[in-house]
Amino acid sequence: MLLELNLQEFLQQHKQIIEDFLVRLLPHQTSQSLYAAMQYSVLNNGKRLRPALVYATGKVLDTPVDKLNAAAAAVELVHCYSLVHDDLPAMDDDDLRRGMPSCHKAFGEATAILTGDALQSMAFEVLSDPELNPLAVSLQIEMIQVLSKAIGSRGMVLGQAQDMAAENQAINLESLIQLHKYKTGCLFNACIELALIASEHNNKAVVREALLDYGTNIGLAFQIQDDILDATSDDFTLGKPAGSDIAAGKSTFTTLLGVDGAREYAALALQQAIDALSPLGYKANILSDLAMHLINRTS
pLDDT score at 15: 96
pLDDT score at 273: 96
Please state the pTM of the whole predicted model.
0.94
Residues of the chain predicted below pLDDT 70: 1-5, 201-203, 240, 242
Cα 254 from Cα 51, distance rounded (Å): 28
pLDDT score at 11: 95
pLDDT score at 88: 96
Q: What is the DSSP letter of 284?
A: G
pLDDT score at 203: 58
Question: b/e for 123-140, b at 16 or more Cβ within 10 A?
Answer: bbbbbbeeebbebeeebb
pLDDT score at 67: 97
What one-letter code names the amino acid at 213?
D
Over residues 70-105, the pLDDT tens digits come to 999 999 999 999 999 999 999 989 898 888 999 999
Over residues 96-140, the pLDDT tens digits come to 888 899 999 999 999 999 999 999 999 999 999 999 999 999 999
User: Which residue ranges form the domains of the chain, and what is each CATH number?
Assistant: 2-296 (1.10.600.10)
pLDDT score at 244: 73
pLDDT score at 282: 87
